Structure 1
Amino acid sequence: MKSPRKGGEVSQDPPPYHVLHKLPPGDSPYVRAKHVQLVEKDPEAAIVLFWKAINAGDRVDSALKDMAIVMKQQDRADEAIEAIMSFRDRCSKQAQESLDNVLIDLYKKCGRMEEQIELLKQKLRMIYQGEAFNGKLTKTARSHGRKFQVTIKQETSRILGNLGWAYMQQGNHVAAEVVYHKAQIIDPDANKACNLCLCLIRQARYAEARSVLDEVLQGKLSGSSEDKSKKRAAELLQELKQCQPVVLSSNNSLGLNIEDAFLEGLDQLVKHWTALRSRRLPIFEEISPHRDQLAC
Structure 2
Amino acid sequence: MMSLRRGERQDSPAAYNVVHKLPHGDSPYVRAKHVQLVEKDAEAAIELFWKAIEARDRVDSALKDMALLMKQQNRAEEAIEAIQSFRHLCSRQAQESLDNVLIDLYKKCGRIEEQVELLKQKLWMIYQGEAFNGKPTKTARSHGKKFQVTVEKETSRILGNLGWAYMQLRDYTAAETVYRRAQMIEPDANKACNLCTCLIKQGKHDEARSILFRDVLRENEEGFGDLRLKARVQELLSELEPREEEEEEAAVLASVSLECEVGMDEIQGLDEFVKEWRRPYRTRRLPIFEEILPLRDQLAC
Calculate the TM-score normalised by the size of structure 2: 0.78
Deviation (angstroms), 1:38: 1.2
Size of the aligned set, in residue pairs, is 259
Deviation (angstroms), 1:243: 6.0
Deviation (angstroms), 1:213: 1.3
Q: Does 1:184 align with 2:183?
A: yes
Local SS of the residue matching 2:219: coil
Instruction: Report if aligned partners of 2:271, 2:298 keep a CA contact under 8 Å in 1.
Output: no
Deviation (angstroms), 1:79: 0.6
2:90 is aligned with what amino acid? Answer: C
**Structure 1 pair 243–131 and aligned structure 2 pair: CA distance change class (3 A):** farther
1:144-187 CA-partner distances (Å, limit 9, x unpaired):
11111111011111100000000000000010000000000011
1:20-58 CA-partner distances (Å, limit 9, x unpaired):
111111111111111111111111111100000000011
Deviation (angstroms), 1:259: 8.3
1:92-128 CA-partner distances (Å, limit 9, x unpaired):
0000000000000000000001100000000011011
1:113 is aligned with what amino acid? Answer: I
Counterpart residue number, 1:235 = 235
Name the CA distance, whole Å, in 2 between partners of 1:70 and 1:35: 14
Deviation (angstroms), 1:241: 2.0
Q: Does 1:262 align with 2:273?
A: yes
Counterpart residue number, 1:139 = 138
Instruction: Report if aligned partners of 2:137, 2:149 keep a CA contact under 8 Å in 1.
Output: yes
Name the CA distance, whole Å, in 1 between partners of 2:87 and 2:137: 24
Counterpart residue number, 2:252 = none
Name the CA distance, whole Å, in 2 between partners of 1:91 and 1:244: 61
2:273 is aligned with what amino acid? Answer: F
The unaligned stretches of length 5 or more in structure 2 are 248-266, 277-285
% of aligned pairs identical?
66
Higher RCO structure (Cα 8 Å, ≥6 apart): 2
**Structure 1 pair 60–141 and aligned structure 2 pair: CA distance change class (3 A):** same
1:55 is aligned with what amino acid? Answer: E
Calculate the TM-score normalised by the size of structure 1: 0.79
Instruction: Report if aligned partners of 1:201, 1:209 keep a CA contact under 8 Å in 2.
Output: yes
RMSD: 3.0
1:204-249 CA-partner distances (Å, limit 9, x unpaired):
211111111112122269x9643332222122222222767679xx
Local SS of the residue matching 1:41: coil
Local SS of the residue matching 2:147: strand
Name the CA distance, whole Å, in 2 between partners of 1:227 and 1:179: 25
Counterpart residue number, 2:27 = 28
Q: Does 1:103 align with 2:102?
A: yes
**Structure 1 pair 17–229 and aligned structure 2 pair: CA distance change class (3 A):** same
Instruction: Report if aligned partners of 1:175, 1:263 keep a CA contact under 8 Å in 2.
Output: no
Name the CA distance, whole Å, in 1 between partners of 2:90 and 2:205: 49
**Structure 1 pair 272–45 and aligned structure 2 pair: CA distance change class (3 A):** same
Name the CA distance, whole Å, in 1 between partners of 2:106 and 2:217: 33
